[in-house]
Amino acid sequence: MRNAQKLLAPVLETLGARGYVAPARWAARAAEEVGTVDNSHRAPASVIEVPSRLLMGPGPANAHPRILAAQTLPLLGHMHPPFLKIMDELSEGLRYTFQTKSKYTLMVSGTGHAGMEAAIANLVEPGDKVVVGNAGIWGERVAILSRRYQADVVEIKVPAGQTFSYDALKQTLLEHKPAVLFLCQGESSTGTHQSLAGLGDLCRQTGTLLLVDTVCSLGGVPLFADQWGVDCIYSGSQKCLSGPPGASPFFMSDRAMEKLQRRKTPPATYNLDMNLIGDYWGWFGKRSYHHTAPVSTFYAMREALSLVSEEGLEAMWARHQELHHRLWDGLRSMGLKPFVEKDEDRLITVNTIKVPEGVDWAALVKNAMDTYSLEIAGGLGPTVGKIWRVGIMGFNAKPQNVDLVLDAFRDGLKRQGKL
């Protein structure tokens, strides 16, 4: 006791010098030994400095200045009516972006991985059969995640750079009649764009829910949730929507909600239980506290969806398509070739480029960063060492940015004696 009081004395003296009176309860805590503060890991007492980079890889992309500015607005309480109004505006903006009339839209508090887990956790019960289309790393991760939620996973695969045909998917669905079919619309590890044509009707024939990953495609390529019969979608904030990482756009159809409501067991996650999160977002006619939403990130995404509405989806899709063609016109003039062979399978938002024989892909990437402050990425998962990946997404989808990417490729190839 005496030793604790001795150690506490400097603290009390400092408080007294500043005019504070130590609370009486401190005397009761005198038995707690107060040691000397260890300053060896004290954080820098300075303003953060961040270098400027043009992020033309697979994401995150650079955020729109208006979106960044929204994050500086004053914080609101996560249950304050003005903030709930912003949440309502987010839901409405998502309905436009997803092209749905479903009221079951919201932003999951977390990145696209949180959206992925929310979809699996809510749609899949232990023992449910889930067909996972594995065309790259994101299908692979959904298969892993589904197994962790005790699903009976049927994993179908195609070689990197290819997509699933309607006939192959039809055969699999008719054979297995799964509870859920997962497909990735834009597979960023390989640069493929999976067609969803006719799959909604097919899934209804087999009693299957259609789950789609749109993390790097939402806002960059056409998507019609209702018209195409999609039942659940998750996406990302930091790609074509030009926001900061930290929010996952999320959608459920009435069919998906019916599955959630008739579960025999509750979702094995409290944090991502859509019964609870949906109640916070007003899905069921009231507002109940579930968690503290990332207030500033939601401000940013409100502005992001406002910008989508101002430009219009048709114009936004056309802009991404035009810049995709501009990129490939330039790359082909250097003798570079796409990794994805078929035009109809090629993703326009994350472009994958074959690394020619004898070229050091990493040296070209490093030169782009060192010389141009420009991010170009290498492969991921099944494509490591085989490709470069160039993102054309959201605010970054501009002619001058594509031209800078082409300059960096031209310079990088010249330095290696390949042009």
Per-residue pLDDT tens digits of the chain, which is 419 residues long: 455 556 556 666 666 666 666 666 655 666 788 889 999 999 888 999 999 999 999 999 999 999 999 999 999 999 999 999 999 999 999 999 999 999 999 999 999 999 999 999 999 999 999 999 999 999 999 999 999 999 999 999 999 999 999 999 999 999 999 999 999 999 999 999 999 999 999 999 999 999 999 999 999 999 999 999 999 999 999 999 999 999 999 999 999 999 999 999 999 999 999 999 999 999 999 999 999 999 999 999 999 999 999 999 999 999 999 999 999 999 999 999 999 999 999 999 999 999 999 999 999 999 999 999 999 999 998 899 999 999 999 999 999 999 999 999 999 999 999 99
pLDDT of residue 242: 97
Residue 381: the pLDDT is 87
Measure the CA–CA gap between 245 and 255, rounded to whole angstroms.
29
Q: Please say whether the dihedral angle defined by the alpha carbons of residues 321, 248, 99 and 269, taken in this order, is positive or negative.
A: positive
Q: E strand or H helix at 87, and its extent? A: helix 81-98
C-alpha Rg value of the chain to the nearest Å: 25
Q: What are phi and psi of 234, to 5 degrees?
A: -125, 155
Q: Which residues are annotated as a binding site?
A: 389
Which pLDDT value is given to residue 31? 74
What are the domain boundaries of the chain?
65-311, 313-416
**DSSP for 305-334?**
HHHHHHH-HHHHHHHHHHHHHHHHHHHHHT
pLDDT at 240: 98
Q: Are 339 and 175 in contact (CB under 8 A)?
A: no
The amino acid present at 385, given as its one-letter code, is G
Q: What is the CATH number of domain 65-311?
A: 3.40.640.10
Domains 65-311 and 313-416 share a fold: no
Rounded to a whole number, what is the largest CA-CA distance in the chain? 81
Query: What's the rounded Cα separation, in Å, for the pair 174 and 129?
Result: 13
Q: What is the pLDDT of residue 134?
A: 97
Give the CATH number of domain 313-416; options: 3.90.1150.10, 3.75.10.10, 3.40.50.720, 3.30.930.10.
3.90.1150.10
Note the pLDDT of residue 45: 87
Long-range CB contacts (< 8 A, 24+ apart) of 288-294? Answer: 289/78, 289/79, 291/78, 291/109, 292/78, 293/78, 293/83, 293/87, 293/109, 294/109, 294/246, 294/247
41-to-44, 45, 135 alpha-carbon distances in Å? 9, 12, 44
Q: What is the pLDDT of residue 188?
A: 97
400: how many CB neighbours lie within 10 A of its CB? 8
Three-state DSSP at 154 gives strand
Those residues with Cβ within 8 angstroms of residue 314's Cβ, 6 or more apart along the chain or in another chain? none
353, 161 in Cβ contact below 8 A? no
Q: Name the strand (E) or helix (H) holding 361.
A: helix 361-372
How far is 135 from 188, CA to CA, in rounded Å? 10
CA dist 100 → 95, 103, 227, 252, 325 (Å): 5, 8, 8, 10, 29
Strand residue runs (E) in 70-222: 105-109, 129-134, 152-157, 180-184, 186-187, 192-193, 209-213
Q: Which of 257, 200, 233 is nearest to 95 (CA)?
A: 233
Closest CA to 217 of 11, 397, 403: 397
Residue 20 pLDDT: 65
Binding site for substrate, residues?
389
